[in-house]
Amino acid sequence: MEKRKIKFSLVYRDMWQSSGKYLPRVDQLVKVAPHIIDMGCFARVETNGGGFEQINLLFGENPNNAVRKWTQPFNDAGIQTHMLDRSLNGLRMNPVPADVRKLMYKVKKAQGTDITRPFCGLNDARNILDSIKYAKEAGMIAQAALSITYSKVHTVEYYVNLADTLINGGADEICLKDMAGIGRPAWLGKIVEGIKKMHPDTPLQYHSHSGPGFAMASILEVCRAGVEYVDVAMEPLSWGTGHVDVLAVQAMLKDAGFDVPEINMDAYMKVRSLTQSFIDDFLGYYINSKNRYMNSLLIGPGLPGGMMGSLMADLEANLESINKWKVKNNQPELTQDDLLMKLFKEVEYIWPMVGYPPLVTPYSQYVKNLALMNVMQFEKGKERWSMIADNIWDMLMGKGGKLPGKLAPEILELARENGKEPFTENPQSVYPDALDNFRKEMEENGWDFGPDNEELFELAMHPEQYRTYKSGEAKKAFEEDLTKRKAEGGGLFPKPAKAETAGQEAPVFNGQPTSMKINVNGESYNVTVSYGDQAENVAAPAPLAAQPAAAPTEAKEILAPLEGKFYQTKSSSEKPVQVGDEIKEGDLIGYIEAMKTFNAIKADKSGKVIQIAKASGEDVEEDDLLVLVG
């Protein structure tokens, strides 16, 4: 009997995204590409997707140039290139107009990407079917993805029927995207068998993260059931919250009787060495060491490997915020592990209540953010659901697609209290075409549209990041952050030991403040305080207010409930609160952007606005003054 072939796909981009925040620069990618080819074992390589392009912008690099240079060697070698896209959300976290989605596939095809892998975070076939149509019109291979998760509503029949719908709708291939690695091996095998029974000639590809520990068994099961392609990673970024290692998969499948490609180990070691050099250069500063370990505690919450890098970074900031409050209120501080376990338990608790959305971008972030907000409120003696961001309400109400399960009664009641209405139309209808507006902006700024309108696409897909990239502010901010991390340590690198200076004594703290915040006639000032002979060094007061304050008789403070960036509005259609306005308890006063979502901030006091203490876009910490009323 002839051995059945299994082909490998290297998820080089996702290896990095699943471990930390950043990805290699284009010069590094171009350097490693020839050696990946020389390994001789990859039929496919993942070359781009959402995180990839946004990271280029954050570096201050042109993402279109990076994609073209990265795909070219593989195109020349006859290795297929593939990308991940988020269907309705394109390459970003939030929905994209249809004309921008159509342009995306034309641009990516022109840049050398052969296959697109559209998925919907809710498995709403309407969103994926549009992407299949647009991709094929652009000449790409459409590999529709099933977002795999494990619950009472996500049955074998559910996934087989979804695959049938997508294949009948034009999908050339199907990917089982097991983004959290929580698909049970035997169960996955049954899904593959069901799809192959209905569509024996449709190629299937399996993608899994290794974190919970099922992945190797799952790969063996799906290959036995009929999968042709398996996504793999390689050292030093395999395993952990990433993906299984190609060496282990190849050995396992060879022993099981499959025809698998041989690996050029000299080239493997070269790629391994270069990847490690990229970590040592700077990328390791953005990789949390906990993400290098497998963790079966992830089975319960089902959080995906791809978001664990950003999750650990979020936890650091939120832990600091919680502990500041606890110290202020004479309560014992939490450790990161304490907070992580509280978060895992809360995700597991609320997931059924919010309709079982598959925990994949962006809905994994939304459920995680909602759970984390609940935990933070609990720790401060407040109630669950006290803060739900607008993006999360859109998910709950159906503006991104239909939820697989039903909302819990208390969520429905909360929606009614907040005036939220269920949405059942096609999600794309909410987001009208927008390319003409972006063309106008490009022309007004004198910006080059680039070959195949790729620069227009980049602006339309990532407006804020692209503008910051063009201004040079993105690169400046990244370089400043990296310099700070190299000086202070971070990620995989420990904090450097402090150099001792001979003959220099540490300053003695005498219990007296060196700075304080004071309020004069309703206006806040930061002042530096010195004592004794240093009195002449007292700094002049610097006003904090974004808008001037009038003198109140009885001033009441509205404080920031969390840290992030404060915005008075999030769209041009909204009218910002201004000094002199009368506001009532419950009125919207602005937003705080935290963890990639906009959290509506409502007044907890009534009165006339005396002061707007923060400007739009300004960083705020928890309990910072936002608005003063009297």
Identify the residue with better confidence: 22 or 543.
Answer: 22
CA 619 – CA 622 distance, rounded (Å): 10
Indicate whether 613 pLDDT > 50.
Answer: yes
Determine the Cα angle at 224 with ends 221 and 227, to 5°: 90
**Which tokens sit at 103?**
């342009």
What's the pLDDT score for residue 309? Answer: 57
Positive or negative CA dihedral for 119, 122, 128, 130? Answer: negative
Identify the residue with better confidence: 92 or 38.
Answer: 38
Place of tokens 């602005």: 590
Q: Which of 405-419, 518-532, 594-608 has the lowest mean pLDDT?
A: 518-532
In sequence order, what DSSP letters do the residues of 99-141 get, joined into one string?
HHHHHHHHHHHHTT--EEEE--TT--HHHHHHHHHHHHHTT-E
End-to-end CA distance of the chain: 85
Helix, strand or coil for residue 243?
Answer: strand
- Measured from the Cβ of residue 602, the count of other Cβ atoms closer than 10 Å reads 15
- The amino acid sitting at 287 is I
Mean pLDDT score, 213-242: 96
CA 118 – CA 116 distance, rounded (Å): 6
Residues of the chain with pLDDT > 70: what percent?
A: 88
Taking Cα atoms as reference points, which of 542, 567, 545 lies closest to residue 555?
A: 545
Confidence band, pLDDT 50/70/90 cuts, at residue 306: low
Identify the residue with better confidence: 276 or 567.
Answer: 276
Taking Cα atoms as reference points, which of 190, 191, 187, 250 lies closest to residue 216?
A: 250
Pairing of strands 625-629, 607-612: antiparallel
Is residue 289 within 8 A of residue 342, CB to CB? The reply is: no
Indicate whether 192 pLDDT > 70.
Answer: yes
Identify the residue with better confidence: 313 or 381.
Answer: 381
What's the pLDDT score for residue 184? Answer: 96
Q: Which domains does the chain have, with CATH numbers?
A: 1-81+233-247+256-295 (no CATH), 300-430 (no CATH), 546-629 (2.40.50.100)
How many Cα atoms are found within 13 Å in the side-chain-facing hemisphere of 321?
Answer: 24
Taking Cα atoms as reference points, which of 165, 299, 293, 301 lies closest to residue 239?
A: 293
Which tens digit of pLDDT belongs to each residue from 283-298? Answer: 999 998 888 888 887 7
Confidence band, pLDDT 50/70/90 cuts, at residue 543: very low
Confidence band, pLDDT 50/70/90 cuts, at residue 529: very low
Indicate whether 105 pLDDT > 90.
Answer: yes
Question: How much is the pTM?
Answer: 0.80
What's the pLDDT score for residue 547? Answer: 54
Pairing of strands 115-118, 542-543: unpaired
Mean pLDDT score, 22-49: 96
Helix, strand or coil for residue 578?
Answer: coil
Confidence band, pLDDT 50/70/90 cuts, at residue 308: low
CA 541 – CA 225 distance, rounded (Å): 72
Mean pLDDT score, 162-176: 98
Helix (H) / strand (E) element for 372: namely helix 363-379
Beta partners for residue 321, in sequence order: none
CA 588 – CA 582 distance, rounded (Å): 12
- The amino acid sitting at 611 is Q
Determine the Cα angle at 106 with ends 17 and 61, to 5°: 45
Indicate whether 41 pLDDT > 80.
Answer: yes
Is residue 42 within 8 A of residue 79, CB to CB? The reply is: yes
Indicate whether 554 pLDDT > 50.
Answer: yes
Which tens digit of pLDDT belongs to each residue from 457-508? Answer: 999 999 989 999 999 999 999 999 999 999 998 889 887 765 444 444 444 4
In sequence order, what DSSP letters do the residues of 460-525 get, joined into one string?
HHSHHHHHHHHHTHHHHHHHHHHHHHHHH-BTTBPPPPPPPPTT-PPPPP-S--SEEEEEETTEEE
Helix (H) / strand (E) element for 338: namely helix 336-350
What's the pLDDT score for residue 145? Answer: 98
